[in-house]
């Protein structure tokens, strides 16, 4: 019996209901067999007046089977292409039926699911927020290779189609309707199939209702072909802007744009073959493997609670206290209130606390102006935030998050003073970026209820929270922190205690290696350009200006007080830079008047001229590849050390944390996945070369050698 239910009614309309054996409908071998059989039956059907494609699952169709895509190797490209052409052939048969075909979209139709809908003549969706429509493949290192690029381009035009393809946008039905991705909506599931059948019945006598727009002789693609005069600017600027954004490191996006351009000029069958050929190349390449592994499987693993202690009931945070209304505290207040949590935002003065609350007002006003929120909803969020300078307002909080300056003495004082305000079973979280949680918890009366909750700036935009367990942190505290992080719609990674934990110490090596390169004589602009060339969002000198050189100086002082003088191999180099820029010249970073760069009122910037006199040596010789590898390998090696020593609890935490928290190049799949793709033996060899040329900080961690010896990858 087919997993596609086939029912013909008295009006000659066939309802095909997809109900595959797995939890969702997906494009796999079972689908291919079912669709092929269904098409043969439809083509032979007598008295057929129309077809409705529906789903028995809550999700209309989940797209391609990513396990199959992950397993495809470069040498399988030709076989992969042929299989894709066979699958697309069935969709082409579907859209060439002599009767109207309607997609009845009851749930999410993403990727391959929406590609099926595009092969239908008409698309009707249940108007509910659970229904998402779009082509998210580019975010997974792929692109819509089942006809998605070709058909969407021909449907709405190349200029309008590109953002939905390249940016992996997911639209709710009303927005999808406005954008032309679907044709109609219904307000209830009960109306969906009847509405689809009603369209077919109303189409009797309309010959064009059963013909796709691109199969009509007089059809002209909206906006014109890419080689038309009106698209001359788009043809030149779009590839340039894409390269600026991806730096040539995202082959799926380059291929998708190329296919979209060609689709605007070619007949549909030729364009579909080109789309399929390119897709086979991209899908069997390393970037697709990296991004599928990390952004689908590992991210789902983390969000699914793999790091959360089992057998502890889910905990809901109802009232959170936030100590410090500065940049971090005000951001935490905003995301907490947005999640419906009562917030007490405390600072040393009521004025400072109110200023922190005003940050939320500013963000909410933007949402209202853009039509993303009503004024009433925005006000209800603001009403949840209480700015205060009084400790007693914190009474009864089931979670208090301390977000004050990175000073152990200050944090200890605040913990002792305010911890009694917690509810009886309340928990204490420190938003520290570097200081050991075990040491901070020494001031706590209940160290088992003390945990690190490290946010990233700006909190409203950054998706990650790094949860740090001290030596005495209980499973209950970890579960509480994990649940709170999910409640505010962030992705939690869980790490064990150390100075700098995972993200800060790894990010620190990026800045430190830039300082090494600078003091060796490398041109500062070259350092930043090559940092971006490897895929980092910002060059290391610029990002240190943004995060504050002054902060690095204070961190060095704090570590010195703790007896740590040469953390992460920086030592003399970073101290020299701090002396040269801050002590001697008062250049503490962008928000202290400038650092490596000078910043101007018109928004422009340039390297601070005396920096050349301090460090630049025109005679210093080093290749671009060496610079790029030094900036990348330092971070990868530190990540591996964290895994080796148990600071990182899982490979998934390392990959997701490096991308969402540090800005690791997305195409690598994260700093640990980078090693898998680079090849463990190749990585060991390159580390040895870098170590011999530039120092022991590039020594390959033993964990890599052990995995290579056992023939294992990191998973």
Q: Six-digit token pair at 499?
A: 């100075």
Q: Is 375 exposed, middle or buried (0-12, 13-18, 19+ CB in 10 A)?
A: exposed
d(CA 587, CA 598): 10
Question: What b-and-e string marks burial along 670-695, b requiring 16 or more CB atoms within 10 Å of the CB?
Answer: bbbbbbbbbebeebbebbeebbeebe
C-alpha pair distances (Å), 613 with each of 164, 455, 519, 524, 526: 48, 38, 11, 11, 16
Separation between Cα atoms, residue 699 and residue 571, nearest integer Å: 17
Give the catalytic positions in this structure: 454
Strands (E), 456-546: 464-469, 491-496
User: Is beta strand 605-607 parallel, antiparallel or unpaired with respect to 597-599?
Assistant: antiparallel
- Work out whether strand 450-455 and strand 464-469 pair parallel, antiparallel, or are unpaired: antiparallel
Closest CA to 659 of 544, 503, 433, 485: 503
Exposed e or buried b per residue across 191-223, where buried means at least 16 C-beta atoms within 10 angstroms of its C-beta: bbbebbbebbeebeeeeebbbbbbbeeeeebbb
Q: What are phi and psi of 403, to 5 degrees?
A: -130, 50
**Integer distance in angstroms from the first to the last C-alpha of the chain?**
38
Cis peptide before 272 (omega within 30 of 0): no
CA gap 439, 441 in Å, rounded: 5
Q: Mention every residue, 6+ apart, whose C-beta is less than 8 A from residue 461.
A: none
Residue 136: φ, ψ to 5°: -90, 10
CA–centroid distance for 313 within its chain: 28
Q: What is the DSSP letter of 271?
A: H
Q: What is the DSSP letter of 138?
A: G
User: Could you identify the residue written with the tokens 């330092």?
Assistant: 634
d(Cα 591, Cα 546) in Å, to the nearest integer?
7
User: 457 and 503 in contact (C-beta within 8 Å)?
Assistant: no
């Amino acid at each position: 019996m087919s997993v596609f239910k086939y029912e013909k009614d008295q009006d000659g309309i066939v309802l095909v209901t997809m109900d595959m054996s797995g939890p969702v409908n997906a494009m796999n071998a079972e689908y291919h067999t079912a669709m092929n059989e269904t098409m043969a039956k439809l083509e032979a059907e007598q008295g057929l007046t129309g077809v409705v494609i529906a789903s028995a699952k809550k999700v209309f169709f989940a797209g391609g089977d990513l396990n199959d895509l992950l397993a495809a190797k470069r040498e399988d490209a030709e076989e992969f292409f042929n299989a894709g052409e066979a699958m697309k052939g069935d969709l082409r048969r579907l859209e060439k039926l002599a009767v109207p075909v309607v997609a009845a979209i009851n749930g999410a139709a993403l990727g391959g699911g929406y590609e099926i809908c595009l092969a239908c003549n008409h698309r009707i969706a249940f108007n509910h927020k659970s229904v998402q429509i779009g082509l998210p493949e580019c975010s997974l290192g792929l692109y819509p290779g089942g006809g998605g690029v070709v058909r969407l381009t021909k449907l709405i035009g190349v200029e309008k189609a590109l953002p939905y393809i390249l940016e992996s946008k997911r639209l709710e039905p009303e927005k999808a309707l406005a954008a032309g991705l679907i044709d109609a909506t219904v307000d209830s599931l009960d109306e969906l199939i009847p509405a689809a059948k009603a369209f077919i019945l109303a189409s009797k006598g309309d010959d064009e209702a059963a013909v796709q727009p691109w199969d009509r002789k007089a059809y002209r693609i909206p906006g014109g072909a890419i080689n038309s005069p009106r698209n001359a600017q788009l043809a030149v600027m779009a590839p340039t802007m894409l390269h600026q954004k991806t730096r040539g490191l995202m082959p799926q996006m380059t291929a998708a744009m190329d296919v979209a351009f060609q689709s605007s000029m070619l007949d549909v069958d030729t364009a579909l073959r080109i789309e399929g050929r390119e897709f086979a190349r991209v899908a069997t390449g390393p970037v697709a493997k990296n991004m599928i592994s990390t952004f689908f499987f590992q991210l789902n693993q983390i969000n699914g609670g793999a790091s959360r202690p089992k057998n502890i009931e889910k905990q809901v945070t109802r009232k959170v206290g936030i100590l410090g209304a500065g940049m971090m505290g005000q951001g935490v207040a905003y995301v907490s209130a947005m999640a419906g949590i009562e917030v007490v935002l405390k600072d040393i003065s009521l004025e400072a606390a109110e200023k922190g609350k005003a940050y939320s007002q500013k963000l909410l006003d933007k949402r209202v102006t853009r039509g993303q929120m009503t004024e009433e909803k925005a006000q209800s969020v603001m009403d949840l935030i209480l700015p205060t300078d009084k400790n007693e307002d914190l009474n009864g909080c089931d979670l208090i998050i301390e977000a004050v300056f990175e000073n152990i003495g200050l944090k200890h004082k605040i913990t002792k003073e305010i911890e009694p305000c917690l509810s009886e079973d309340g928990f204490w979280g420190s938003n520290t970026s570097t200081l050991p949680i075990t040491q901070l918890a020494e001031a706590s009366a209940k160290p088992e209820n003390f945990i690190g909750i490290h946010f990233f700036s700006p909190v409203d935009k950054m998706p990650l929270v790094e949860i740090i367990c001290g030596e005495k942190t209980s499973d209950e505290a970890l579960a509480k922190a994990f649940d709170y992080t999910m409640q505010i719609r962030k992705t939690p990674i869980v790490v064990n205690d150390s100075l700098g934990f995972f993200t800060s110490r790894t990010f620190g090596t990026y800045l430190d290696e830039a300082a090494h390169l600078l003091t060796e004589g490398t041109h500062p602009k070259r350092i930043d350009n090559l940092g971006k060339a490897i895929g980092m969002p910002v060059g290391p000198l610029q990002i240190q200006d943004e995060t504050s050189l002054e902060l690095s100086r204070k961190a060095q002082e704090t570590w010195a007080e703790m007896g740590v003088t040469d953390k992460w191999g920086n030592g003399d180099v970073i101290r020299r830079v701090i002396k040269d820029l801050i002590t001697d010249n008062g250049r503490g970073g962008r928000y202290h008047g400038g650092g490596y760069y000078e910043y101007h009122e018109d928004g422009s910037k340039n390297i601070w001229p005396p920096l050349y006199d301090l460090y630049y040596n025109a005679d210093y010789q080093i290749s671009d590849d060496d610079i790029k590898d030094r900036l990348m390998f330092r971070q990868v090696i530190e990540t591996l050390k964290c895994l080796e020593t148990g600071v990182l609890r899982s490979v998934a935490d390392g990959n997701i944390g490096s991308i969402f928290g540090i800005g690791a190049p997305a195409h690598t799949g994260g700093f640990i996945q980078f090693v898998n793709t680079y090849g463990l033996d190749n990585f060991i060899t390159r580390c040895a070369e870098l170590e011999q040329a530039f120092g022991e900080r590039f020594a390959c961690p033993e964990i890599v050698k052990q995995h290579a010896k056992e023939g294992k990858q990191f998973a």
